[in-house]
Structure 1
């Protein structure tokens, strides 16, 4: 329901006026409230005969929606429209129950009111700002549908109730009508790219607004992968070490490689061509973004090598160790 402007009779006397929200909306079958206040000269009292009249299609049919004299009310609105306030107390708030599409149209209470019935999804958090992992965030969802009878429900979905609180606020005044639901919570990196839903419902009818979470977090599960397998690296091979991770937002801005604590590279992949036994050692990488850094556990690179030798006595075997740690491979050579 959208309320238009137009002072009508109130323009005739500067001390007369009516104030109301610029727009309100209703759900079919539910109710809609139009907060309304009057202003009038101080020498006017209720005994002077202040009469409240709400019209529909004032410029054509002048259908009476509400009248202080009940017999004047059109049959379509009898029992459905009531004035919640006392005009003598400067309150002209209208409650219309059992809203139907046919109720749509121009209304007037000394002002023009454009009335339309529709079902619009709730307003999920307007373009959601990025959230930071572990920090408290506050998000608000709202809907213009408000019925004091309590049959229109608004709720959040997709949040963790163990770290969250939800508070509700209903606005019913001349500056606007709405139901606001505030979610206070915190997010982890695992919530990144998930959806939060806000749902307004009336009986079995529902409308949903959604927002995709953008949770800023340092690189997670940083680790080193090796190709070929660490059990098959021989002297002369080409080895590729890749710094991998499970998640990062924002994207990675820098990589760093270390061998035995000494910096050796700054790309995601560290390539060792024609490896030598001197390449044996502990390698680790760091991945960094604007939030922080993820450090991979150290990985030991072993170099396997073949060596041949002979002994003066026939049939004897020579085993010569050439390499490092358990990574040494021996070959056998038989004489005679």
Structure 2
């Protein structure tokens, strides 16, 4: 009797928790997400990993291979490549293969900490740079039997950048005006960032929102001329947030005594977060201690 080949099993879950270790962010697995592309070959890793520029991040990863190929010998070699790379000619970002050299721009910063022979493909990125942003795939090699690229299980790494705040046209007293806050978001999957606005007490509403941007519509008054408005972007899962503050310029005939806004503040936060207010500087991750 011929048996039908069943598709690989899939487990649904989330990588939902992280803890900051000084300048290093360590992701922790709460439940598992595995998606197999070929029977027996599966990889478990976060779908999106944010990291601040100059900081470090530890990315847990588990790799699975058909058991019949997984004996004690020969050794297993693993490599992380950018999605657009050719594994047969381009250098990897990180590898434990003795005959492969890593990319010059990642050498000494990207480290494959896990041993694929022990089903471990964990990656550590130190001193993150903007050029590290991208989608990565893992390749495992073991003797002549195992040579496989996990192209269906991508890892998206993005180095957070200060948001860009754009004011459309000139703000005029008594008239609505749009202000857009945007950040790069290269990941096709994963939870997008959350936007929040903090500024002087003024009439405002949240407009259209996308995974990359938030639009705030305000109706300024003469007293808001010269006041500050802050857009803060928080990346879920890890203690990473970036912000930018702009000074409002309101076109009006401001009389003496009306130039300064009141001391009250209001925060508008993109769902699903709660409305809150904030005074003073936002906390940030500390620097990673030298090894």
Taking structure 1 as the reference length, the TM-score comes to 0.38
Q: Which has the higher helix share?
A: 1
Give the number of the structure with larger relative contact order, counting CA–CA contacts within 8 Å between residues 6 or more apart. 2
Taking structure 2 as the reference length, the TM-score comes to 0.43
Larger Rg: 1
